Amino acid sequence: MLTRKQHELLVFIDHHLRTTGFSPSFEEMKAALNLRSKSGIHRLISALEERGFLSRRHHRARALEVTRLPEGVDAALLPDVEEELEAPGNFAPNVIQGDFSGRLPGVRAAASAGAVQLPMYGRIAAGLPIEALRDTGAHIEVPVAMLGSGEHYALEVAGDSMVDAGIQDGDTVIIRRTEQADTGQIIVAMVDDTEVTLKRLRRRGQSVALEPANVTHKAQIYPADRVKVQGRLVGLLRKY
């Protein structure tokens, strides 16, 4: 038995997944349910997980999956996108449909044909690891020519440890989501499931070295099982 808010959130998430291909941000869910804080959304999602209606892919941003709907709710009978957008007072996620959305999972098509909007997940350390801001609801417009296949996201760089690789404090890096990377590639690495950092990957037997590109910084060496690849650098944006 679900509460009214749990039911509303589940149906909203399911509809958003079916119409956009990716789960809504916490800000979008908060607005859809007319709640004042994201903490209420966290509680609702946890309750839906416990009841077996939702699942989360941990260490992935905005990765919710509807495992089942309440009895009496048929996904095929839920309102179409066009009908919902026309209904007065209903929440309408800021999604522009376009050809890019099918080819690039997890991105929203921008108004211009040569660009897409990627989710902007916050600041990542290019010095000592810091916790990533996973769900800001922000997006950034990126030229589609910078992207290949797969899912991408953007992060703002904090720190100077990658300056010799041309990555400066305040730059925006474009990351292709992947759990695999080769030695020598610049990656987003998660350490101990809690902290993330942008570094060059070096594999050394049963250890992993996260190398800076700045002679004033030292490489960080960890047992391989403490480091998880979260994505690989594919592009960079800079404002002057």
The alpha-helical segments, DSSP class H, found in the chain are: 4-20, 26-32, 38-50, 81-86, 100-103
> What would you report as the CA-atom Rg of the chain, rounded to the nearest whole angstrom?
20
Which residue among the candidates 25, 30, 101, 199 is catalytic per the annotation?
199
CA-to-CA distance for 60 and 53, rounded, in angstroms?
A: 18
Q: Collect all residues with Cβ–Cβ distance below 8 Å to 109 and sequence separation of at least 6.
A: 96, 97, 98, 99, 100, 101, 116, 117
Residue 88: exposure state from Cβ atoms within 10 A (0-12, 13-18, ≥19): exposed
Helix 4-20 vs helix 38-50: crossing angle, to nearest 10: 90
Nearest by Cα to 17 from 89, 91, 105, 88? 105
CA-to-CA distance for 9 and 49, rounded, in angstroms?
A: 12
Specify whether 199 is catalytic: yes
Which residue among the candidates 46, 161, 228, 239 is catalytic per the annotation?
161
Specify whether 161 is catalytic: yes
Distance of CA 159 to the CA centre of its chain: 21
Q: Is 177 helix (H, G, I), strand (E, B) or coil?
A: coil
Residue positions annotated with a catalytic role: 161, 199
